[in-house]
Structure 1
Amino acid sequence: VEPVVCQHIEGYTYSLGEPMGECTERVMALSKALIAGGLRAPVRTAIRDEIWVKLWGNLCFNPISALTHATLEQIGTDPGVREVVVKLMQEGQAVGEALGARFKVPLEKRIAGAVAVGAHKTSMLQDLERGRPMEIDALVTAVAELGDIVGVDTPMLDAVLALVQLRGKVAGLYPTR
């Protein structure tokens, strides 16, 4: 790949939308360009809901995989770890809903979707293994901080966050501040 060239590896649907839900010329033009390139690019009026559903899975599967080196399938099928996943997702959903997000996918279906991906390593685990900075703040810290702002308690998320931050620090991939 070279400058101004994007290499597409996987996936054919890219939901698009403006932050406030309006249907602007620029989002329609981008959708049209992606469709012309052979992709599906629906314009959504509630893109924030889709972002929250994506973050919902990332905020639990990514740190757990970095801590355990387990795949999505292993995380979602281990009974004890699955309980942690459920608690994290419940807390994340409560934060999102307090901010107006709607979760149209049931929690169990979201977990089943991750398990169905199989022996996949999350991006945070891949970053850890490759010695790259881990996306702890974007995927976990942000949700914990939003919980504080809206008054939603996130005890499981706070505990997992502390653990994955330490994991990142020990590996030299997260700032010690």
Structure 2
Amino acid sequence: MKICIYGAGAIGGYLAFALAEAGVDVSIVARGGHLEAIRQNGLRLRNGDQDRTVKLIATDEPERLGPQHYVIITLKAHSVPAVAERVTTLFNEQTAVVTAVNGLPWWYFYRHGGPLENTRLESVDPNGVQWRLFGPERAIGCVVYPAAEVEQPGVVRVIDGDRFALGEPSGESSERMLGLADALKAGGLKAPVKSRIRDDIWIKLWGNLSFNPVSALTTATLEEICRFSETRAVIRAMMVEARAVGEAIGVRFAIDVDKRIAGGEAVGAHKTSMLQDLERGRPMEIDALVSVVQEIARKVDIPTPIIDAVLGLIKLRAIKAGAYP
């Protein structure tokens, strides 16, 4: 089995390490100092008491790697269209593309079965680049639950979690998905197979949609924005609107709004990824986390006034910071 991790930062590095431990022929596409450190010293993973290093193929030229059984994309969503053509150099007819990316995936309405069947989402796939170049039939969904960081070039530290939920857009338990799940489990990860992966995607999106922009706008931690009554009210209103949008396209929410907010509060004094990106001057994941919900809301005629207001504010904040791609 050959697997390429495209975008081997913190989460990609964690996956690559686990797959290498499982004996998979795994390679990574990375760049900069992180790539050079992995080439010279291997990929080091720090996870609790574990501190180990694996050697693997690392490159910034995917064209040299040849066809893969799976390409796991761990880039931020807005970065993928620009490299889509290079990703296709890793394909043969059987290659699966695993979207381990925050937000709603570009293939969302493929084999959805509803009135929006095969609808392209402009906010996450401008001009349908991924739909056209990858082909939705290659897609396997993946919801990433762990928190990890690149502690220094070549070194990934796992903060919490080991679960990567997998699901086919059709809901079937395919051989290719089960094979990937087995490989991840062999590397010490949890890889539950979901027949309704979109439900899991929305539960995670629910938090990202609201916690991230509110945190970035206020420069406050998760704990602070959930405990301060006014920001908690904004977060709750955004989640209520998003739930209406999700339910309109068939999503089943297994928990209620207040329980989801309580889960965010329990994380504690943590800066969201959007706030971290703002502070570091990096492009912010606004479209895949927020704009896409507004886009779908327009298609199903669901009003989202609070989401709209927060989206406008965070877009301008990001533009002023040079962090809106």
Q: Give the TM-score, by structure 1 length.
A: 0.94
Shift of 1:40: 1.2
Q: Is the aligned partner of 1:125 residue 2:125?
A: no
Q: Which has the larger radius of gyration?
A: 2
> Structure 2: where are the runs of 5+ without partners?
1-33, 39-57, 60-153
Pick aligned residue for 2:225 from 75, 94, 103: 75
**Paired residue for 1:158, among 304, 308, 320?**
308
- Residue 38 (structure 1) aligned with residue 179 (structure 2): no
SS state of the match for residue 105, structure 1? coil
Using the alignment, how far apart are the partners of 2:284 and 2:221 within structure 1?
17
Structure 1's unaligned 5+ residue stretches are: none
- Cα distance in 1 for partners of 2:236, 2:323 equals 27
Question: Following TM superposition, by how much is the alpha carbon of 1:8 offset from its aligned partner in structure 2, in angstroms?
Answer: 6.6
CA offsets, 1:93-137, max 9 Å, x none?
Answer: 111111111100111110000000001111100100111000011
**CA deviation vs aligned residue, 1:70-114 (integer Å, no higher than 9, x gap):** 111101110111111110000011111111111001111100000
Higher relative contact order (CA 8 A, sep 6+): 1
Amino acid at match of 1:59: L
Instruction: Give the whole-Å Cα distance in 1 for the aligned partners of 2:280 and 2:168.
Output: 34
The amino acid that maps onto 1:128 is L
Higher alpha-carbon deviation: 6-15 or 27-36: 6-15
Tell me whether 1:64 sits opposite 2:214 in the alignment: yes
Task: Write 1 or 2 for the structure with the bigger share of helix.
Answer: 1
Q: Could you give the per-residue CA deviations for residues 123-157 of structure 1, whole angstroms, max 9, x where no partner exists?
A: 10010011100001110000011100111000000
For the residue of structure 2 that corresponds to 1:64, the secondary structure is helix
Structure 2 equivalent of residue 140 of structure 1: 290
Identity percentage over the alignment?
Answer: 57
Pair 90,6 (structure 1): closer, same or farther in 2 beyond 3 Å: farther
Matched residue SS, 1:102? coil
Is 1:91 paired with 2:241? yes
TM-score between the two structures when normalised by the length of structure 2: 0.52
- How far the C-alpha of 1:6 sits from its partner, in A, is 9.9
Larger fraction in strand = 2
Distance in 2, Cα, partners of 1:153 & 1:44? 30
Matched, 1:22 2:157: no
Structure 2 match to 1:173: 323
How many pairs are equivalent?
175
Alignment partner, residue 11 of structure 2? none
RMSD of aligned Cα (Å): 1.6
What is the letter of the counterpart of residue 27 of structure 1?
M
Cα drift, residue 22 of structure 1: 0.9
Distance in 2 (CA, whole Å) between partners of 1:19 and 1:7 is: 30
